[in-house]
Structures are given as structure tokens and as C-alpha cells.
Structure 1
Amino acid sequence: MQRLIYFAGIFGMLLFAACSKEKTTPGTASLTIINAVPGSRPLIGNFSGGSPIRYYLAPDFRYNTFLQSNRISSYSGRQPLAIYQYPDTTDKSQPLFNLMLDLPIGSMHTLFLTGTLAKPDTLFVNDAVPYHPLGDSTCSFRFVNLSAGSAPVKVTIAQKNGPPEVSSLPYKGLTGFLNYPVNAAQEDMVFEFRDLATDRLITTYRVDGVHNPVPGSNSPWVYGNFTLALIGLPDGTNGREQTILSIRY
């Protein structure tokens, strides 16, 4: 009897292992959500379709802010997403955004929330993030125009001659990632966002630390990938001014 029980236990373990191998753990996608809607209160995301929001799980996205909590890795496939202004999130409230996203397993995306409160808009992009080998000491930047109502802009580096880094960036325009060295020979940079037609300076973003005189020392930029987003409104005031939001991948 003991031998029978022993073999039955072995059979059960083998059967469990076989069944476990047949089960595949579903994968997820990476989704970064950026709030670039001027004047918005914190935005609350509801990924559960028409169900009420569970506040202890709901992510929130604040204007002109990037935190690691902006990056979500819990969903894949055809995914509904309703986004409300806090605290206007009751069952009868209308979401500011009501979206259906396509998130293939293993993909990386950024959802830029832009436009205005009166006319919300989105830019949903597939992220192809470059890899920086350890010996290269490089970083990369891409540029996006999320300033609703803005004319096309160009991006230059202060005191650098030659063509601009980005020749034309219209509203909702997005570049690929551009590589820059991080070493003792590279001067620290100031990116200038200028009106394309008039060359008027709109705003700047200072990159301190790409001039890295000590090989192997830590730099806030080395091996990193960054998105510099022009947000705000032309002639905006009271927190709606055009400025640059830095987003790190």
C-alpha cells in the first residue's frame, strides 16, 4: 500500500508539472502616460472599462510632471482607458479622454495627453528606445511639440553653428532619438526651442553634466534616453506658459 501511495504521488507530481508547462503566463506592454494638458487638475486613469474606479489602484498623472509611476506595465492587448479630472470621477461623470489602446505584448508606448481642457487631444506613439553600449559613453534625446496652437518650432543648441538639431517640429510632431556624447570633450548643452518662421526664442532646456571630465564617473545623462516635450500654450500665463518637460526612459 505504501508503494502504491508513493507511485501515485510521483504520478501526481509529474501530471502537475506537465500541466504547469502547458500554461503560459500572459505578458504585458510598457505604457508611459504624460499629462501635457495645460490647466488640468490631476488626471486619474481607469483601465477597467465601465466599472467604477478603484482609487487605491488608480494611477494619477499630474501636469508637467514625470515620475516612475507614469510608467505602467500591467496591461496588454486591446485595452480601454478612461481618464478623468480628479475629483470628477463618479459613475455619471464624463471622462476627459475615453480611449481604446492597442498594446501588443512586449511593446513600449507613450501616450501624450495634450490639447486643452475644451479640446483634449492625444499623441500615441510606439517607442523604439536605443541601446547604449557601456563603452560608448553616450546619451540620446528626442523632441516632441505638445503645445496646442503653436506654430512649427526648430530646436538648436546655444552657441553652436551649423544646421539646427531639429529643422521643423509642428504641433504633435515627434523626432527619433538623437545620440550625443558624454565625455570630457563634450560641452554642456542648452537646447533652444525657437519659432521656425521668426527665430524667436520660446524656451530653453539646460543639459548640465554631459561634459564629463572623469572617465567612468557618474553622469545624470550617460546611457540614458530622454524625451524633451514642449508643453504649455503660446502666450500662456499662470502656469500655462510654454516650457520643457523632460521624460526619461
Structure 2
Amino acid sequence: MTTDHRTHARVAVVTGGSRGIGRAVCERLAQNGLAVVVNYARDAAAAKETVATITAAGGRAVSVQADVADENAVTALFDRAEQEFGGVDVVVNAAGRLALSPIADLDLEVLDAVLRTNLRGTFVVAQRAARRLRAGGSFVAFSTSVVATRFPAYGAYVASKGAIESITLILARELRGRDITVNTVAPGPTATDLFLDGKGPEQIEQLAKAPPLERLGTPQDIARVVAFLTSSEGHWINGQILRANGGMV
């Protein structure tokens, strides 16, 4: 394993860490020597699988349930991280919700649910991270490259993610003087259950050919970006939106 040279063992909290990109991030950060708190909303079994994979490889991890939009639950999540591992150095908010619908047809209750998880959830996790991260730490949020490509039917999702991009530099500037970075990763089409759900083979093939590299991204592609941003090598990058999408807009 490779590790950053710090005066203490580094600790990461990853929301949405039981599946997809979140799970890949958990596993990659553990490979880099961080202890990982794997947050999940509902799928306890998948979170335990993530922990088991990490510990089997010699890493340290625990799973903790919390709704990212619930400030009390997120506070308890950070409390658990500090109790288990002594502090928090990296926070990655990978939890998210996707709903596809033309704007004219969207059920407003669905809109509320998307905004609650994606926007309020990110805000709550960022708020707690700002209060708890140690010097030298990093916060990474998630957006989507659809903020730029503006595909039809993504109105609710893009509305939630565009707001996240807007607050990235604001939070970075608010943390001036604390040696903490704040960045947002905006993946393009990535082969996760969330992305593939409801799409036919032709649509998936079309999206795979959109980037000049002519393939879907993988969760591991995105996890490598997060690992760099949260490492000492990536610490000069701050307040940025990184479109990890193989060359799309």
C-alpha cells in the first residue's frame, strides 16, 4: 500500500460507499492507506461487502448507516469516524439519486426527493466536513458532466448537480487558512447500476461512443481521480470542477 506521509493515520468518510463509484472510491482510498468509513443509506449487506473487501486486503474500514440529508445522522456518522479512527481527513460525498423525466412531466415529489439527496445531502455533508476536517484534508463532492451536455430528461438531476458546482469555490474560499481543499468531480457516462438502469443496449452503445475515447467510464476511473485530489500530490488543486468524462464537453 502507498500512504501519504502525515503525522497521523489518515481517515476517510465516503457517503454512498456501498456500491458503484462510492464503493470504488472506498477501495481505492483503502489501497492508499486510509482507514475508511463506508456510509450507506439502505443496503447494509452491500456496505458490509465493501468493508470485507477492504479488510481482506489488509485495510481498515467500518460501515455506518446514515441519510445524508439528515443533519443529525451525518453528525453521528462523523462522530463514529472519530471514535473508530481518531479524526477525519477526507470526505467524499458520493451518495446520489437519479430520476429521468421531461421537465413538463416530472412529478414534483420526485423533484423534491432528488433535491433532498443530491443538494441538501451534499450541503449537509459539506457543512459537517467543514467543521470536522483536519488540516491537510480534502472534501470532494460529485456533479455530472450532463451539467455541460444538457441531455433531455436530466432536468431534475442537473438542477441538483449544478447547484453543487456553484458552491464548490465558495466553500473552498470559506475554508481559507485551514489547508483544506474542496473540489467537485463531474463524471461522464460511467458503467454503474445507477447509470445503466432503464437504458437499452443501443442507448448505452451511443453514450459509450460519445467521448473521444469511445467507451464508458468505470467506477475505478473515477476513484483514481478522487484518490489524486485527496492525496498530497493533488493538494494544490482547489475549488475546481473536474469533468472526468473521457473528453466530452
TM-score, normalized by the shorter chain, greater than 0.5:
no
Choose between structure 1 and 2: higher helix proportion. 2
From the CA coordinates, give the structure whose radius of gyration is larger.
1
Which of the pair has the greater relative contact order for Cα pairs under 8 Å at 6+ separation? 2
Bin of the TM-score, shorter chain as denominator length: under 0.3
